[in-house]
Structure formats: C-alpha cells, structure tokens
Amino acid sequence: MSKNDLHKQLINLLKELHLPMFREYYAEFAQKAIAEDMGYAQYLFELAQRECEVRRANKIARLVKASKLPMEKTMANFDLKRLPLKIRQQAKILLEGSFVDRTENILAFGRPGSGKTHLLCAICHELTRQGRKVYFTICDSIVQQLLRAKRDLELDKLLKKLSRFDVMMIDDFGYVKQDRDEMEVLFTLLAHRYERGSILITSNLPFSKWEMIFKDPMTTAAAIDRLVHHSVVLELNVPSYRAEQAMKRKNKDK
C-alpha cells in the first residue's frame, strides 16, 4: 500500500470512528514523535489527550448554551470579597458541586442588587464545567411555560423534559405576583422536582412573605417544606452592588 493510499484509508477510518482530532493532528504529532524520539504509547496518549480535551470543551459549550445562563454572570466577574466570610465559605463548598449529587437546593435571599443572582449563576456555570445539565429561567417565564403546557394538556411532558436537568435555577422567585392558576403550576413544578433534582432560587421575599406567592397558608407551608428539607440557605444581607457602582461613578464624575 502506498503512503498516499494509507493516508486516505486512515482518514476514512478515523471519520468512521468519529475521531476528528486524531484526523487533524495525527501527522503533526507523528513528526513531533519522531523529533522527540517518543514511543508509540506516548504518541497515542498525546493524540487521545487532545481528542478528549476538545470533546470536553465542546460538551461544556453545549451545556452552557442549553442552560440559557447569562454569559457574563460567572465567578470570574463576581466580587466574592463583598460577601460575609460565612457566605464566601459556603460558596466555595457549593462550587464543588457535591450538593447536586445529594439533590440539595440553594435558596438565596437578599435585597435587589445584593448579588444573589450573579452568585447562583456563577455556581451554575461551574456546574456546567463539571458536565452537569443546568437550566436557568426567570420565575415569571417558567410559570407562563407551565401554564401554556397545562392549557395544551402537555404539562406532564414539560415536567419530564425539565427533570432531565440536574439543576434548575429560578430567578426572581415571587417578584411578580401570581394568580391562583400560576401558583398551582409553580407548586406542581416544585413538588415534581422534590428529591429528584436540585433547585436554585433567588428571592427578595423572606419565607414569612411567601403566602403572597402561593395565596394559601397550607400550600405555602408545603412549598417551603419541600424546598428547605434538603437545602442551603444563603442570606445576602449586603448593600446593593449596583447602587455602590452608581455612587462610585457619580463621585468620579465630580
């Protein structure tokens, strides 16, 4: 077999095996192997390593896209030093992601601008880098999705679809007042994910005001019970980051 024929057949075999990085780099790495007097095992290891690195990067990119997370809200863009020591310590543990394996929830409370959304999004971004499936939504948006699914007799189908995500983050929980139908589908979602998958929630409302969301004391108590049973509660009692930045800009312009 000629060298040219061997090259063509090798390319075809690598296509069949779905090894695009092998296909792209095998010749370049072969030259490197000759120059550096590599053994066969080392040459194969370096090719396999490049293939896995690219596959991992592509997988993370797909997970981030599917998550619908705000791209800018990562840990690299978050000032952890603003938060109390206890919250910083909790955040470092949560970034490891083991809470997902235990189907624990994270509930972040604080005033507008305290950084609760950014912090939980940053944790979610880290989870995607670990290969976990994450879904981000605003509370009012997911409620409307649930209502449409219920109207179309496809609520079970939507709940099943959402259950494929390891983590579901619901931002601005209770920010928009819900009517009774909206409250019912929201409770259905929480009940469906209970002990099946982690829920991350941000809210300006403390538990004492959640009856404004669920309208009924019994339903409110049941919802809180399901969320708190396996959970980490983060109280971000810090000044508004946006207000601080606005004040800095104002002082700078003087």
pLDDT of residue 254: 57
Question: Which of 102-111, 150-159, 172-181, 204-213 is least confident?
Answer: 172-181
- E-strand ranges in the chain read 105-110, 134-138, 167-171, 198-203, 231-236
The CATH class, in words, for 68-245 is alpha beta
The whole-number average pLDDT for the span 233-242 is 78
Residues 6+ apart with CB under 8 A from 161: none
Helices and strands (H, E) in the chain, number of each type: 12, 5
Beta bridge partners of 168: 135, 199
CB 64 within 8 Å of CB 132: no
| DSSP states along 67-105 | HT--TT-SGGG--GGGS-HHHHHHHHHHTT-HHHHTT-E
Spatial distance between the Cα atoms of 182 and 141, rounded to a whole number of angstroms: 11
Q: Which residue has the higher pLDDT, 102 or 22?
A: 102
Q: What's the pLDDT tens digit per position in 200-221?
A: 999 998 888 888 888 888 988 9
pLDDT of residue 180: 83
Output the pTM of the full model: 0.83
Intervals of CATH 3.40.50.300 along the chain: 68-245
